[in-house]
Amino acid sequence: MFLLKQLFNKSKMSSPNRSVVQLIIVGCGSRGKNYASYALDCPELCKIAAIAEPREKVREYMIRRHKLSSEQVFENWESLVKHLKENNKSVSFLNPNYKTAVCICTQDQYHLEPAIAFANLKIDILLEKPMAINAEDCSKIAKAVEENNVMLAVCHVLRYAIYTQKVKEMIDKGLIGNIITIQHMEPVGYFHYAHSYVRGNWSNEKKSSFMLLAKSCHDIDWIVYMMKPHRCVRVSSFGSLMHCRKENKPLGAASRCLDCPSTIESNCCYSAKKIYLDQVKYGETGWPVSVIVSSGEEPTIENVTETLRNGPYGKCVYESDNDVVDNQVVNLQFDNGATATFTMIAYTKEICERKTRIYGTKGEIELIGSVATHYDFLTNESKKIDFGELIPKKSTSLYGHDYADYYLMKSFIDAVGLNDPSLLLSNAKETLESHLLVFEAEKSRHNGQVIQL
């Protein structure tokens, strides 16, 4: 299994076989900016070579932050790829002595074409989850990276969390015996759901993708990872959109929160005024406020008010064009008879703090966030472990998912720089398999049948 010491050791430049990695960032939204910051954390290992981003203000931000010249900046990935092709990758911003890699952080529906284009250029790829929005396109990406012999790391960040590695280690050591069942739950968070999946980029299946793929594909992947080497053989799923629907709109409410009567708005926990405008007034300009101004400018009371007045983030949650589910369960059965259930629920206090119970023949593990409780059937003793205390803290902005964002980037840069794909926690084939499982689960939700795999 993947060794913890490989994941959490200090990257070293002492290896004579190691190269500096020059990164191309395609899509400089929240995730693109996030992953690019690794170059600021570890400038001796990684540098930003070029960016492709359509928004002028965001390009200007990246130019300032990473000290880029105009020749390193492109408005879209197509012009960047064309430039690389025409010059056989011999361009001024690429050092021939460095390894080149790309982070593709475009919206879900725009992953396929750039992924195949960069694979054909023999450039290693970090691809934001999900791989693509349908099974056929996922398979095309997997085929392209295999044919071109390039690395593909899809951002299933949960695998890189220290609690994941520690719990997997406990399971593989046999501390709870053979797994009988796993119960895994993701609480999305009530305002996170309203922001991203009612008003935001992932609200409508036709415009982006379905909820299980967009939000929870790495939870299904996490269960699959825990159950290795056993394979899932049957899946079923149920789910629906219950609350943020037009028929649930309060009588007298307006179509936009800024126009809503105060007697109604003040009692609405999904009010855009509360989620965005009030936060700016309090001086809070981080996520989610930081991503709603379409120009990419820093949030101010003025431009946030304008955004709420005219954009999707100011709409009443009961008047949006959202159709993705707000609750879903997935049932899995594995080839050894073990089972697992996954639950996604939108309306929660916690934001993405997973809750898991793993029941084995010799004990059980309860995991809440990064805190685990191991109960041993033989001794009747419980042991509580806070894996968060074990994280080698870094001075980094990549602290998301209990620093798993940082260790994902570390593993990718180490793998590319050392030309060692074993440093990645999943390959294209394994990632494709967990994605195909997600598509089958969604098929079951629609047709009401148990799917044999």
Dihedral, 66, 69, 70, 71 alpha carbons, nearest 10: -110
pLDDT at 64: 96
Please tell me the predicted confidence (pLDDT) of residue 403.
Answer: 85
Cβ proximity of 441 and 213 under 8 Å:
no
Model pLDDT for residues 274-293, shown as the tens digit of each residue: 999 999 999 999 999 999 98
Name the residue with higher pLDDT: 34 or 8: 34
**Helix and strand numbers, DSSP H then E, in the chain:** 17, 15
User: What would the two tokens of residue 247 be?
Assistant: 């028929």
Tokens for 283, please give them.
């001086």
For the residues 74-94, what does the mean pLDDT come to? 96
- Tens digits of residue pLDDT in 394-453: 677 787 777 889 999 999 999 999 999 999 999 999 999 999 999 999 999 999 999 999
User: Residue 399's CB: how many other CB atoms inside 10 A?
Assistant: 15
Q: pLDDT band for 298, please (50, 70, 90 cuts).
A: confident
Rounded to an integer, what distance in angstroms lies between the CA atom of residue 405 and that of residue 65?
19
For the chain, percent of residues with pLDDT exceeding 70: 96
CA distances from 214 to 6, 137, 208, 220, 332 (A): 29, 15, 8, 12, 19
Residue 1 has pLDDT above 50, yes or no: no
> Hey, CA dihedral for 223, 170, 357, 189, is it positive or negative?
negative
The distance between the two most distant Cα atoms of the chain, rounded to a whole number of Å, is: 70
Model confidence pLDDT, tens digit, residues 305-361 = 999 999 999 999 999 999 999 999 999 999 999 999 999 999 999 999 999 999 999
pTM of whole model > 0.95? Answer: no
In the block, residue with structure tokens 């290896």: 15
Give the whole-angstrom CA distance, residue 249 versus residue 319: 8
- Residues with Cβ within 8 Å of residue 380, at least 6 apart in sequence: none
Average pLDDT over residues 254-266: 97
Residue 139's alpha-carbon distances to 33, 119, 135, 221, 435, in angstroms, are 27, 14, 6, 16, 10
DSSP string, 217-229: HHHHHHHHHHHTT
Instruction: Indicate whether 32 pLDDT > 80.
Output: yes
Q: How confident is the model at residue 5 (pLDDT cuts 50, 70, 90)?
A: low
**What ranges make up the beta strands (E) of 188-288?**
232-240
Tens-digit pLDDT profile for residues 148-172: 999 999 999 999 999 999 999 999 9
State pLDDT tens for residues 96-140: 999 999 999 999 999 999 999 999 999 999 999 999 999 999 999
